[in-house]
Structures are given as C-alpha cells and as structure tokens.
Amino acid sequence: MSRRAETGSAIPVTVLTGFLGSGKTTLLNRVLSQPDMSGTLAIINEFGEIGLDHLLVETSQERLALLDNGCVCCTVRDDLVVTLKEVAAGQIAGDVSVDRVVLETTGLADPAPILHALMAEPELAERFRIAGVVTTVDAVNGAATLDSYAEARKQLAVADRVVLTKTELTDEAGRSAVEHHIAALAPSAVLSVSGEVDPTEFVVPVGDEKAEAASLASLLKRITDTGRHHHPHACGEEGCDGHHGHHANAHDGIRTFAFVIDEPVEWGPFRQWLDYFASIRGADLLRMKGLVRIAGAPDQPVLLHGVQHVFHPPKKLDAWPSDDHRTRLVFIVKNIPRETIENTLAKFAGVASERLKGVAA
C-alpha cells in the first residue's frame, strides 16, 4: 500500500484520544493544517465532526478526502480496528503513500483495546507500530469529567503525551486542579499546553527505535526524578495517585508504579515473569514500558512495551539512550497493588526486593 510497507518498516501510529468535547478534533485539525504533514493518513470518525471543509481538495471515494497539504482523511466504517485492517490490506488509500497514521478515537472510547489490537493482531502488528498516545484534557471541564467518567480516566492513564486545551478559558486555580488530576493519573506523560507548542510535535516524531528509546529514557528520568525529590505527585507506596484527598478513591484503582533495578537482571526469568503478568493480569495492565539491563549484555538495553495481554517483541538496542544504565520499569495498572508487582518480580524474576527501588519508596 505504501513505500514504507514495501520496504518492510512499520508505519508509526499516533492514537489521539480524549473525552467528548476535550478538543481533540480541534487539535487534529491543527495538526493536519501544517504544511509539512504530507504523508499523514488521518483516520477519523466522520468528516463533519472535524470541520475540514476548508482543507479539502477532493473526495476521491465516499470515505476518503485528500487535503491540500497531501494529508488523507479516512472515515471509520465499523470500528477503528476494522478500518486499520482495511488500511493495512491496501483496501483503503491503497494508492497513497503513508508515512504516519493519526488515529482519532471517539470521545468515549477505551484506547487500550486499540493499542492491544495494534500489537496483538498479526496483520496490524507487522504493518504498524505505536508511536504514542496523545490525550486531550479540557482545562475547564477536565477535572469534573475525570471525577465522573471512567472512560476519561482510562484515556488519561494510557497517555504518553497530554495536551491541555482551553487553558485560556480558566483561571490559575482551575488549571491547577486539572493538572493535579493529570499528575495523579498520568505521571509518566509529557504535559503540553495546546497553542504553546508546534502542533506537529503532538504527533510524536516519526522516529526509529533510537528516538523511541530516547523518549522513553527521558520519560523514565522524569518519573524517577519526580520520585526522588518527593514531589507532591510522586509515585510512592500507594502509587502515583496516592493520598490526594477527595479523589483518592475516584480513579478505579488506576495506578502508575515505577521501579529502578541497579543490578543487571537475568533475561530468561524476567521474560517469564512478564509473560505471567500479561497472561494473568493482562486485563488490568493498561500499559507497561521499560528499559532493561540484562546480565551478559549490559551495554545493550532491551526496550519493552506492553499493553494488556501483549508485549511488543522485546528489542535489543545497540546502546543506552542516556547515561542512566539502570533497569527502569513503568507500569500503569488497574487494581494491582504495588506489592504484587514487587513480590512476583522477586519470586519469578529473581529480583529481590532489596535490589528493587520503588520510586520515592
């Protein structure tokens, strides 16, 4: 379907999610309006919703629209996964060269099954890779929405990047309230404010593994730094949404846990432990990311990325992306206590608790 697929490298997919009215369509509109976004295939729910009329050049098929900067928009027929499969099979936009995909979920969607499908379904996994999850949060209504809707909390919990929208419509207190929620539910995510950043940055750069590793390393650094400095939003014993007063129990048990392991780990038992985790608690494993220092090859970190029941085939990198060569793991989980992760890591992967540094523990 595209030159990338022909050369065999996977097409990066950015999943754009966010609750109803949180401004994700506006954000997508701005991304697609950028001049250098050619080669982008946007998979959207319907043309009308996004208000693209001013960008349209032609509509070649009922479901496709070509924008004047070379982007293609494609509407969803059944669900996103079905549409993605049609794209993968060249049934849609087969004559268009695709360098990246931006996939917009509906406002009530749970993004985890979409991520899962991208990794677990063979026809998708060989064509696409997940470039990141961008979640829009509305600075005006976001706090209330997050208090009330489990869907919104889950969308936020799996984010790599959170874009705060409508900040101009709120005051300092309102903005602080919503940032507090974000820090609690998505402590590992990069937080940006819409309008303050080049929109193309929201679509995580079409990077190679090195770029992916580097961004993961900086993410891990942010989390571990946060922990060490006992920042109010630290990920402590109770997870990152710890003791934050009135909404401490309002997050459906969603927690982010980060771990640092100084010593190299034995890959075999460690991999077995990950497999057990995905087999038994996959439904509650929203996302997992990590860089692992393995015994026998301490200079070649292994990059991990898991969603629910699947892990990407672990990739061994040529070099560490930063000076920190320790194993660092981040788990975003639901209803899994920190001690379950610690105890099973000790029991099955042979990483004794005293070798394990929970961040801010």
Partner 1 sequence: MNSAVRADTLFLNGRIYTVDGERRWVEAVAAGDGRIVGLGSEADVRELAEPGAEIVDLGGRMAMPGIVDVHNHVLMGGATELFELRFPGSLGLRDIVGRVREAAEKTEPGRWIIGSQWGADLFTVLNTSEALEALDEASLGRPVLLRDETVHNRWVNSEAMRLAGIAEDTRDPEMGSFGRDPKNGKLTGIMIEAASGLVERAAATVGKYTDEMDRRAVAKAVKTLNSYGVTAFMDAAAMENVLAAFAALDDAGELTAWAAGAMPAVEPAFMFGIAGDELFAKGKGLARKHVHPTYVKVFLDGVPGARTAAFHEPYLEDPIHGCCFRGATMVTYPDLVRWLGKAESLGLSVKIHCAGDAAVTQALDAIDVVRSFNGPTELAHHIAHASYIAPADIPRFAELGVVADLSPMLWYPTTFLEGHKEVMGEERATRFWPNKDLKEAGALLAGGSDWPVIPNPDPWNGIEGLVTRRNPSGAFPGVALWPEQAVDVATAVEIFTINAARAIGLGDTIGSLEIGKSADMVVLDRNIFETAADDIAATKVLATYFEGRPVFERA
Classified as helix, coil or strand, 83 is: helix
252 contacts partner 1 (rule: CB under 8 A):
no
In the complex, what is the shortest distance from the CB of residue 344 to partner 1, in angstroms, rounded to a whole number? Answer: 5
Contact 138, 145 (CB under 8 A): yes
Site map (CB under 8 A) of partner 1, residues 30-69, x = contact: ----------------------------------------
What three-state secondary structure class fits 333?
strand
Among 112, 137, 141, 130, smallest CA distance to 282 is for 112
Give the number of other CB atoms < 10 A from CB of residue 286.
23
Where would I find the H helices in the chain? Answer: 3-7, 24-33, 47-50, 80-88, 111-120, 122-125, 142-148, 150-157, 172-185, 199-202, 209-228, 267-281, 338-349
Q: What does residue 12 show for φ and ψ, rounded to 5 degrees?
A: -70, 135
Q: Which is nearer to partner 1, 47 or 276 (CB)?
A: 276
Q: Which of 169, 176, 347, 352 binds partner 1 (CB under 8 A)?
A: 347
Stretch that binds partner 1, among 24-32, 129-137, 219-227, 342-350 (CB under 8 A): 342-350
Among 276, 314, 325, 355, binds partner 1 (CB under 8 A): 276
Smallest distance, Å, CB 53 to partner 1?
46
Candidates 167-175, 215-223, 226-234, 273-281: pick the segment binding partner 1 (CB under 8 A). Answer: 273-281
Q: Which two tokens mark 280?
A: 């038994």
Report helix, strand or coil for 358.
strand
Residue of the chain from 63, 116, 161, 281 that contacts partner 1 (CB under 8 A)? 281
Q: 189 vs 66, 72, 85, 126, 319, CA distance in Å? A: 32, 28, 28, 26, 24
What whole-number distance in Å separates Cα of residue 288 and Cα of residue 278?
10
**Are the C-beta atoms of 136 and 194 separated by less than 8 Å?**
yes
- Between residues 137 and 333, which has the closer beta carbon with respect to partner 1? 333
How far is residue 316's CA from residue 301's CA, in Å, rounded to a whole number? 6
Residue 90: CA atoms inside 13 Å, Cβ hemisphere, count?
9
Q: Which is nearer to partner 1, 192 or 340 (CB)?
A: 340
Segment near partner 1 (CB under 8 A), from 7-15, 86-94, 186-194, 272-280?
A: 272-280
Which residues sit opposite 103 in a β-bridge? 15, 43
Query: Based on CB atoms, which residue is closest to partner 1, 267 or 276?
Result: 276
228 binds partner 1 (CB under 8 A): no
The mark string for 282-301 relative to partner 1 (x by CB under 8 A, - otherwise) is xx------------------
Distance in angstroms (rounded) separating the CA atoms of residues 83 and 8: 21
Does 7 bind partner 1 (CB under 8 A)? Our answer is no
Q: Are 237 and 361 within 8 A, CB to CB?
A: yes
352 binds partner 1 (CB under 8 A): no
Q: Work out how close the CB of 280 gets to partner 1 at its nearest, in angstroms, rounded to a whole number.
A: 4
The yes or no reply on residue 344 touching partner 1 (CB under 8 A) is yes
Say which residue the tokens 């990069």 belong to.
190
206, 315, 340, 361: which one contacts partner 1 (CB under 8 A)? 340
Question: Of 68 and 339, which has the nearer Cβ to partner 1?
Answer: 339
User: Out of 275, 299, 318, 353, which residue is the one contacting partner 1 (CB under 8 A)?
Assistant: 275
279 sits near partner 1 (criterion: CB under 8 A): yes
Indicate whether 348 belongs to the interface with partner 1 (CB under 8 A): yes
| Number of residues this chain uses to bind partner 1 (CB under 8 A) | 13
Site residues, partner 1 (CB under 8 A): 275-277, 279-283, 340, 343-344, 347-348
